[in-house]
Amino acid sequence: MIKITRIESQYPAPDDDEFDYCPEPVSTSIDDTVSFRELVALMQDHQHPSCSHPRGEIFEWLSTEAYQDPYTGEYTECSLHYSRDNPSRMEKYWRAAMRAVGLIRL
């Protein structure tokens, strides 16, 4: 079982006349323990790596495309992180899951 952290960040709706929209998000984090198969499924939903050429390192995270709530106008972005609470022997599974999803080719 692999420990992960999921972070959901919500940004308030922009004002119509706001030129430089850069609000602070309201974030919630959820720590969870998942199997390798569940980790691969989560990574398939979070297809955007934190760097341009991911290598499967534990400091790399994955995020979703930000989406806007049609009723409130808020933007929401979700990200998936490797938990630092994992023993070091679990690091290889983060990389293996990224490889299984096709985010890295090495």
Nearest to 78 by CA among 3, 5, 14, 16: 5
pLDDT by residue (tens digit) across 68-83? 888 888 889 999 999 9
pLDDT given for residue 21 in this prediction? 65
Q: What is the mean pLDDT of residues 54-81?
A: 90
pLDDT surpassing 90 at residue 29: yes
Q: What is the mean pLDDT of residues 4-32?
A: 82
Residue percentage of the chain with pLDDT more than 70: 92
Rounded to an integer, what distance in angstroms lies between the CA atom of residue 51 and that of residue 58? 12
Residue boundaries of the structural domains of the chain: 2-101
pLDDT given for residue 19 in this prediction? 64
Note whether 45 and 58 are within 8 A (CB).
no
Q: Provide the CA 74 distance to its chain's centre, in angstroms.
A: 18
